[in-house]
Copies of this chain bind each other. A is one copy, B any other.
Amino acid sequence: MNSENFSISEKIVSPSYIRQGSQARRSHEQLIRLLLEQGKCPEEGWSESTIELFLNELAVMDSNNFLGNCGVGEREGRVASSLVARRHYRLIHGIGRSGDIAAIQPKATGSSLLNKLTNSVVLDILKLSGVRSVTSCFVVPMATGMSLTLCFLTLRHKRPKGRYIIWPRIDQKSCFKAMITAGFEPVVVENILEGDELRTDMEAVERKVQELGAENILCIHSTTSCFAPRVPDRLEELATMSAKYDIPHVVNNAYGVQSSKCMHLIQQGARVGRIDAFVQSLDKNFMVPVGGAIIAGFNESFIQEISRMYPGRASASPSLDVLITLLTLGASGYRKLLAEQKEMYTYLAQELKRLAAAHGERLLHTPHNPISLAMSLDGLQTQSGKSVTQLGSMLFTRQVSGARVVALGNKQMVSGHMFSGFMSHSEAYPHPYLNAASAVGITRDDVTLCIKRLDKCLKSLRKESSFCVTNAICLYRFTLISYPMSV
């Protein structure tokens, strides 16, 4: 209520109480003021009531909520279902304009503010998480893969001769398809084995660059977050090479914001060499629904070019989710989540190690990977060819989600390219293994339950192979057929 309405209220309820109520309101306004002024994630999280007050205020500024508006356009923010209107806080106009996904919409001042603030708050969080020199970013309502595609498409206009993308292998379909969809030819560089870890083969990368000719290479496409035993790419060296050969460098940082190691790699890469853009998922880093990504970089005008490549207005839903979430958590809340991720990583590693020992396996030594862990499954491989995949479906039916088993010798064709040893990031990794990850938001219960169920499954599989195949197991095998491995 404005001051006039507070004055009138003093005639209804005693002035001293109204004064206190109006003061209380001011303390919410004060939080909003700080956000508008600084464009940063507030240190302490906001209460739900401040957040909803703020979102209502934004909605009121959009023309579809004007009390006296009449609309004679083809896109007026009309909503047929009140369920839908409510779940979007009546912010209907999306973000951006036909020319630029980061642009301001005259019809939707509130949504425009939302968009600007989200990008600004997210930038602040990227800095806080370790990429201190990032200068620009924007949220885009597309998957990480499609966002990478958008980056590649933008680069095409700057490098008309670029046909190839140099890509240290990582066995995840969407980043591979991101290049295919954009119309480029991925040049897969196999990783090299160092101890248990799979790491970037820098020599092979340089060889490819020289072989194909720098000007024919659209960019280098590197990766931070990945499943063990692969570890983040050698970003500093790749960035240095990018600078040396004047080749753009795009980093797939899918779920790397949650890890100070991944963020540090990017920060260092940009300091010593060249990183044009780095792309990260919203859902995996900020615990929001699937569907958004952040495209960030160190050169504001290049990031803006990318934002101008998105033709049309876009869904504000992922922006709204991440803004609500970051305002709820506050910077301190997010830091706390990151600290817990680290703590749980240590706990998970220790428990897996213990379990592996008990079953004659071992936790692969992959200290460069700050999120994902792998435990060998050599025992299952020797006993029966199917036991490894069977373990996967057993875990699935026992509601252990996200655990991923990798057998030896998979081959898979992805968009015309044959991957040997698919899922293992390597043509011939020496062990079959199981992955488990300590990602942001994981709880102690998740780890404990997973270890317990995994233990039971391993015992049951060993018993089975010693004695006979029971009916129950046949069932697992059956469900296996319909259970794809690349969950």
Contacts and interface: CB of A to CB of B under 8 A. Distances in A.
A25 B60 contact: yes
Contacts of A225: 74
B57 A49 contact: no
B329 A21 contact: no
B317 A289 contact: yes
Interface in A468-487: 479, 482-484, 486-487
Interface string A310-336: 111111111001001100110000000
Interface in A46-84: 47-53, 56-57, 59-63, 65-84
B110 A286 contact: no
Interface in A436-456: 436-442, 445-450, 453
Interface string A4-19: 1100110011111110
A124 interface: no
Interface stretch (A188-196, A236-244, A400-408): A400-408
Given A57-B25, A109-B17, A439 B399 contact: no
Interface string A190-232: 0000000000000000000000000000000000010100000
A390 to B, nearest CB: 14
A168 B55 CA distance: 42
Contacts of A1: 29, 32, 57
A105 to B, nearest CB: 8
B311 A143 contact: yes
Contacts of A76: 401-402, 439, 441-442
Shortest Cβ-Cβ A-B pairs, 3 listed: A73-B402, A291-B315, A143-B312
B314 A290 contact: yes
B15 A441 contact: no
Nearest to A453: B70
Interface string A278-308: 0001011011111110000000000000000
Contacts of A290: 75, 77, 92-95, 313-316
A84 B68 CA distance: 25
A26 B17 CA distance: 24
Interface stretch (A129-137, A145-153, A264-272, A380-388): A145-153
Contact of A316 (B146, B291, B396, B400): B291
A107 B401 contact: yes
B83 A328 contact: yes
B60 A311 contact: no
Interface string A84-109: 11111011111101110000101101
B25 A4 contact: no
A399 B69 contact: yes
Contacts of A156: 183
Given A4-B33, A67-B28, A284-B74, A311 B174 contact: yes
A413 to B, nearest CB: 11
A356 interface: no
22 contacts: A1-B32, A5-B32, A12-B117, A13-B113, A16-B482, A21-B61, A22-B61, A28-B60, A70-B453, A72-B402, A74-B402, A74-B437, A83-B328, A99-B174, A107-B401, A107-B487, A143-B312, A145-B311, A177-B311, A289-B315, A291-B315, A315-B315
